[in-house]
Structure 1
């Protein structure tokens, strides 16, 4: 058996956000099958500080700090008729490293994590190519192009259009294309101009239920000592769908909850909150925490974890994490996509703002129901969403399992 080249748009360490959690577990699983060479980017000091962890698992690696301004990536995209998503992650240094690894090592499989990295697969590579798109990014930009404001919606429409072409190219280039849920796989297939010659697979996100175990977590003292219901949202807070979801809670849900529970407090927990969220911190029972060392204490102390996302591609790690922590989760239908749990038993789904409020009030007022839902949620995660179960078919997919074909 040969070796594996793993290309990821963000370093899979530390595994502290949705895409990095997925790439982290994929990389660990691949490293158990064969030597893995990793080419990736870092964006923050924490990313770059995690290089030692990457070195401990990779046979070799190249970590490049991504500093290209978005405006420059946009100009390059216009000039080349490429998606901004690709030009933002285009690096001559990484291309040179990939070429060197392919010439010096017996690479028989290239595993591409996220569509931005497909540009590094040489046309003449004869081995196996696996592309994990995670979700359909072009569809996300299409949605932004409908709902956004000018001129951003014009930019997003273009990005959705040209990115869809790149996604289709990758689907035909790859031996298999992975999506994060059956819904995303069906959506992706429906958007292909030509489906023949593509192999669309599903690998769902898992959860580290030992790490997210409420028995081993001390709840955040500030929330425990506070009076009134504590509502928590977690996520990357410069990501537009998260921003919109948080503003929905602030504007349409929290005020109605406070009409009956004046001490109800909404906690926004996650790195890089944008200024428009910071401007609301400390007002109307809203706390914006920004980046915290660990989200688990906030989940453990929450009366309700809320995820009212209007745009949600794939499976939401924030939902699985809260469920693993045995918390009652109130979420939109979009945020529940890809999680085969039962509404009313494992979590509570509500579509409209009014339904969100009524569901929240019921969970606040009926603590027995809330506790039972949390216990059922954790039991579901343990039985259905562990990482080993999710990655059981990975070996065969990359040509290391029983009956795997010779890609070359």
Structure 2
């Protein structure tokens, strides 16, 4: 994960303390994660749900305490910026804002109708206000792509922003063997409780996959991810679709794929799931949203299609041409190497060096 990579890069050059939330399943010495607000609270509160879900008085107290001996605070994620004002005065704040979150919600609202559309427009407006405050409050904002950096500057002209591309620990993905393929298997990997992925796999399973099956009867779809919601579980009732929830390791599933799909219809930043799939030397079919921010070429490193007919045709092309699939996968793996952890570490450590020019002896604390 990006947060873990940044924390590791900081630890290599500074006395670093990581303050984080624990959830019920994983107790690792962090602050207990607050319970989610009720539907009524999410509707009536002026605070966006993404931020409200991470509000904790204990977390704020710990931030203030750690801030007294820090040269800087790295907030890893927009929701963590709510704790910036808990820091003692004068502590620089660096925000790693790996999505333009309000844009994601606006795109989501555009896919809905009626009351759901109104609800998501309301959440997007709340988040946009918080996003603008956070961009102004941060002394430096890290974007995951140049496109996001430009968007941040549109939201808040003059914001100090830098691009640090994803730095992923790809060794296991790059070492993935390609000789255990299940013929015709299409694999989707993603968190199955996140609305962006729920929309993506629902659209693919209902609008795209039937078109693939019409032309490739051997095709099957394996949905891999944690915490699937009921809407995703229902997809597995369709012919040739299976759901595999909370698997301990996604790499064997990627290794078994003939083809991987990332059918995102809205989102922001750079999609790490695309990079990870590319690193396994598997052909990837995605959308313009899924490929956003990546230095890739359609037809050389992956295939891009934005409508159901085109997406299905791209999948059928890969499923029906083994030599092309191998070539596409080989090119994808080589391109994925550009997004490995060492690059992120160098960029993060450069930022730390700039901060240390002001105060050379004190530690850095990422949230």
With the length of structure 2 as denominator, give the TM-score of the two structures: 0.91
- Residue 330 of structure 1 aligns to a residue whose secondary structure is strand
Aligned to 1:90: 55
- Paired residues of 1:203 and 1:391 also in contact (CA < 8 A): no
1:138 aligns with 2:102: yes
TM-superposed CA distance for 1:339, in Å, is 0.8
Taking a change above 3 Å as real, the CA distance of residues 92 and 378 of structure 1, as seen in their structure-2 partners, is same
The one of 195, 201, 213 equivalent to 2:174 is 213
Name the residue aligned to 1:71.
38
Q: In structure 2, what is the equivalent of residue 185 of structure 1?
A: 149
Partner of 1:388: 342
C-alpha contact (below 8 Å) 2:282/2:332 kept by paired residues: yes
Cα deviation 1:199-223 (Å, max 9, x = unaligned) = 011111123231212446884xxx7
Encode CA deviations 1:81-135: one digit per residue, 9 max, x unaligned.
22222222111111111222234xx211111111111121236521221011111
Give the aligned CA root-mean-square deviation in angstroms: 2.2
Displaced runs of 4 or more, over 3 A = 76-79, 214-219
Structure 1 range deviating more: 354-363 or 210-219: 210-219
Corresponding position of 2:364: none
Matches within 5 A, 1:206-355: 206-215=167-176, 219=180, 224=182, 228-355=183-310
> How far, CA to CA, are the matches of 2:42 and 2:236 in structure 1?
37
For structure 2, which runs of at least 5 residues remain unmatched after alignment?
Answer: 361-367
Q: How does 1:111-130 map to 2 (within 5 A)?
A: 111-122=74-85, 124-130=88-94
CA distance in 1, matches of 2:17, 2:329: 40
Whole-angstrom CA distance in 2 between matches of 1:36 and 1:150: 48
Aligned-partner Cα distance in 1 for 2:202–2:66: 46
Which structure has more RCO (C-alpha within 8 Å, separation ≥ 6)? Answer: 2
Number of residue equivalences: 359
Distance 1:27 1:285, change over 3 A: same
TM-score, reference length from structure 1? 0.82
Structure 2 match to 1:199: 160
Name the CA shift for 1:77/1:262 in 2 (closer, same or farther; >3 Å): closer
C-alpha separation between the residues in 2 aligned to 1:264 and 1:44? 38
Separation in 2, partners of 1:209, 1:367:
25
The 1:253–1:85 alpha-carbon spacing in structure 2 relative to 1, beyond 3 Å, is closer
Partner SS, residue 18 of structure 2? strand
Tell me the equivalent position of 1:107: 70
CA deviations over 1:174-229 (Å, ceiling 9, x no partner): 2211111111111222223xx13x2011111123231212446884xxx73xxx51
Match of 1:356 in 2: 311
